[in-house]
Structure formats: C-alpha cells, structure tokens
Amino acid sequence: MPAYAPSTATGTPSGPAHASQLDVAGELLSLLRDATTEPRPDTQLAALTLAVAADLPVLLWGEPGIGKTAALTQLAQALDLPLTTVIASVHEPSDFSGLPLVGDDPAEHGVPMAPPDWAVRLVRAGRGLLFLDELSTAAPAVQAALLRLVLERRIGSLQLPPGVRIVAAANPRSSAADGWELSPPLANRFVHLQWTHDHEVVVRGLGGTWPRATLPRLDPEKLPEAVTFARRAVCGFLSARPALVHRLPSNEARRGGPWPSPRSWEMTLCLIAFATAAGSSRDVLSLLVRGTVGDGPGLELLASLDRMDLPDPETLLADPAGAALPERGDLRQAVLDGVVEAVRTRPEKPRWDAAWALLVRAVETGAPDLVVVPATTLATLRREDWDVPASIEGLAGAVSLSRRADQAAARTAVAPQARR
C-alpha cells in the first residue's frame, strides 16, 4: 500500500504522509515564534524589572491584547526564571488558602492545609516567576484568599522560597470579562504599573526583535548611601505631610489602585533605594512611586526629592559671591524663597545684605522675574536702622522691568475682552 493513500470516505490523506504535514506545520510555527531581543530604552520595562529586583509584587494594568502576558513570558526567559501562570479567576479560594488534609489523628496533629501542585513545583525549583493573570476578574472571595499569598508568600502551610517573584496582570473593569474592582487590601499590596503599547516596539517585535529585559545593575558602593537617601526622602516628606501617611480614597475605583498607607510608603522607600543604587532615570522612578502611593502623593514626593539636593540657605548666606544657584527655574525659585525665609527666621543686618547679594546674583545668572517675589518679601524685613545696600540699585531696574512686562501682558489679555 502506498505511503499516501486517500481515505475512501473523504479523500483526505492518512498515515505517515499526513503526519509529516503536521511536522512541517510545526516547523513553520516554530519559525514564527522564533525571535531575538536587543537592548532598547523602555521606561515601563525598566520599572517592571526594578520592582521585580526589589522583590515587590507588581500589578500590570492594561487593555486586553496589549501584550502583558507576552511581556511576562519574555521577562521570565530573559531572567532565566521558570514561569508559573495561574489564572486567578478560574480558581476557588481554597486553591490559594490550601485544602484541608485530614490525617490519622486531627485532634493531636491538627489539620494541615495542602498547597496546590503549582506551589509545590515552585518550592522544589527554589525560584521562579509566579504570574497571577486576570486578577480583576477574580471574585472578592478569591481576592481575599490571595492576600496572604501576595504579602506573606504563603499558600496553606507552604512558604514560597525567596527566589520567587510575583507579578500580576489585570484589565480595567470596563474591559474585563465580568470584572470586579480590586479590593483595597489587595490593591495596597501591589506596585501598580499602567502597561501601554509602543508602536515602534510592537512593529519591531513582530519583525522578530523585542526589547531585552535585564535586571538593574546595582552599584555595591552606593548601597548604604542609597538606603540613607531613601529613608531621609520618605521620612522627611511624611514629617512635612503627616496627612499623607494613610489616606484611603473615598472613590471605590481609586481604592482598587495605588494609595498611600504605611505599607505602600515602605514599598516606596524600598523602590527609591533600589533606583538610587541602580542610577535609574527620573521617568522610571516616577512610574514606580506614583504606582505605589498614587499620582498626587507620588508627585509631591518627587518634587521634594528635587529639593533635597538644593543648597542650604545658611551656606548661601555665608558666601553669596560663590553661591551656585540651580539652573531650573522652579528649583531656583525654591532656593531664593528659602533664603528669604532664613532671614525672616533670624533677621540680622549682615544676613539681610547677603540675601540681597544673592538676589543680584540670581538676576545676573538667570531670569529676572524669579526674584520679584523674594525681593518684595525681603524688602518688608528691613529694620529702620538698616541702610539699603548699594547692590539694590542694579536689582531695582530688573525687578521694575519684570513688573512692567507682567503688567503689559495683563493689559494685552484684558484688551480683547473689553472690546467684546
């Protein structure tokens, strides 16, 4: 009988020849899946790998089909971690809390909670990437069962090893299949990253080359300095903004995202330390901080980080001639305001004169409009027996010119309305 023989009923091939065509199809599929990676700047991928390095649970938010699962698969391959995918929405609460296993004498030995098989495989491997997919379609009871897994890394009586990292993915409720809002306790345990697609990345990836995911390179010599900086940044900020230590949003949808709590501030401190030791970009740190404590508190903290590197007003007052003022306008404004406030706190004639010298230097090296408010405030601090320093002569012209420009701009804006 020939190797190729049509069946009598349908005329389709059967036997070895048919099997060989499936093999050819398999080869074609293998070629389609074959892809390589390249180093490429990618802010959201860098933020993801930094959070994974910091051993913090990450939750990727994005519309269906945006590439969240593909990104996690590529990340596991790049980090050489076995990937374990668990679809949260198709599991029961007992799958995460453990199934009771009755022994010979429960009264003496108790009833242990047996973990699922995937958890046992992770423990045996000693390392891995646990991917909790479709988190926003998990029922509230399942979300409650996940609390201990995400925070304590425990499933029943089983403790996951330190080499296991947890990443989850979710769709917004509007695009999730029978979706739920994330419960506040579970949401507060994650670093939330908004996952979006980049046109160039997608096109180049479909052509066979995707961005390479690499763990951040931490500088061993910067580790103590990074911890000190992170603690000073978070503690100093919360000392000035105590109301932000814990703020549960009133809106149900926002409760399912990042919001400030002692737990999320601890995660933020960890992320700042890692970003400092790795020399991460400001954009990466911004994604992580806002994804941990929310946009409002996160942006406030980032602004305070900028001010941490500002020169001490007392140092500037001690040597106004050699003062180095920031180039960025908002930071320069903050420095000048700080100098004036220092003089207000301890008003003395030499300090008042030094402050005027700093304002003159600011005019000579930057935009004159930045000194209008500090100069006006500083002038109100003059005592009757204080002579006006000669340096104010040059400053007065610049301030006057800036004021006239502001008044002209105001008149220009009002004129069209008056004609109506």
In this structure, which amino acid lies at residue 161?
A: P
pLDDT in tens, the chain (420 residues): 444 445 445 555 555 556 688 889 989 999 998 888 888 888 999 999 999 999 999 999 988 888 888 888 888 888 889 999 999 888 888 888 777 776 666 666 666 777 888 899 999 999 999 999 888 888 888 898 899 899 889 887 789 999 999 999 998 866 655 667 889 999 999 999 999 888 888 898 888 888 888 889 999 999 999 999 999 999 988 988 899 999 999 888 889 999 999 999 999 999 999 999 999 999 999 999 999 999 999 999 998 888 777 888 888 999 888 888 888 888 888 888 889 999 999 999 999 889 988 888 888 888 777 888 888 888 888 888 888 777 676 666 555 544 444 454 455 555 555 555
- Inter-residue contact 325 to 362 (CB < 8 Å): yes
Instruction: Say which residue the tokens 């549960």 belong to.
Output: 248
pLDDT of residue 110: 65
pLDDT of residue 127: 93
Q: What sign has the CA pseudo-torsion 141, 143, 148, 154?
A: positive
- Predicted local confidence at residue 111, as pLDDT: 67
Contacts 24+ apart (CB under 8 A), 196-202: 196/44, 196/62, 196/66, 197/66, 197/67, 198/42, 201/40, 201/42, 202/67
The dihedral through the CA atoms of 315, 321, 327, 331 has a sign that is positive
pTM: 0.74
